[in-house]
Amino acid sequence: MGELFYLNALWVMVATILVILMQGGFILLEAGSTRMKNAGHIAGKTIFTFGIASLVFWAVGYGFIYGQGNLFIGFSDFFYGDFTSVVDGLPGSIDFMFQLAFAGIALTIAFGGFAERAKLSVYILFAIFFSAFVYPVVAHWIWGDGWLAGLEKQDFAGSTVVHLTGAMAALAATILLKPRIGKYNKDGTANDMHGHNQVYTALGVLLLWVGWFGFNAGSTLGVDEGFFGFVALNTNLAAAAGAIAALSTAWMLSGKADVPTVLNGALAGLVAITASCAFVEPWAAVLIGLIAGVIVYYSMKFFDKAKIDDPIFALSVHGVAGVWGTLSTGFFATPELAAMNGGLPGLLYGGGLTQLGVQTLGVVSAGLYAFLTSVILLLVIRAVVGSLRVTEEEELLGLDLSEHGSYGYPEMVQPAANAQFGVHEPVVKI
Maximum C-alpha span of the chain: 76
Render pLDDT for 22-77 as a digit per residue (tens, 0 to 9): 999 999 999 999 999 999 999 999 999 999 999 999 999 999 999 999 999 999 99
Tell me, what's the pLDDT at 226?
95
CB neighbour list of residue 100: distance below 8 Å, 6 or more residues apart = 53, 54, 57, 58, 61, 62
For 190, phi then psi, to 5°, come to: -100, 145
Tell me, what's the pLDDT at 421?
47
Beta bridge partners of 389: 118
pLDDT, mean over the chain: 94
Closest C-alpha to 164, from 375, 325, 341, 377: 325
Closest C-alpha to 356, from 293, 294, 279, 282: 279
CB neighbour list of residue 225: distance below 8 Å, 6 or more residues apart = none
Number of helices and strands in the chain (H, E): 19, 2
User: From CA 122, how far away is CA 145, in angstroms rounded?
Assistant: 32
User: From CA 89, how far away is CA 99, in angstroms rounded?
Assistant: 14
Type and span of the H or E element at 426: none
pTM score: 0.94
Judged against a pLDDT cut of 60, whether residue 11 lies above it is answered with yes
Q: How many CA atoms are closer than 13 Å to the CA of 274, on its beta-carbon side?
A: 30
Percentage of residues in the chain having pLDDT higher than 90: 90
Confidence of residue 414 (pLDDT cuts 50, 70, 90): low
Tell me, what's the pLDDT at 418?
57
User: From CA 285, how far away is CA 288, in angstroms rounded?
Assistant: 5
User: From CA 371, how far away is CA 138, in angstroms rounded?
Assistant: 11
Q: At what angle do helices 3-33 and 92-110 cross, to 10 degrees?
A: 10
Tell me, what's the pLDDT at 409?
87
Render pLDDT for 156-212 as a digit per residue (tens, 0 to 9): 999 999 999 999 999 999 999 999 999 999 888 999 899 999 999 999 999 999 999
DSSP 152: T
Closest C-alpha to 138, from 193, 175, 99: 99
Render pLDDT for 338-360 as a digit per residue (tens, 0 to 9): 999 999 999 999 999 999 999 99
Confidence of residue 428 (pLDDT cuts 50, 70, 90): very low
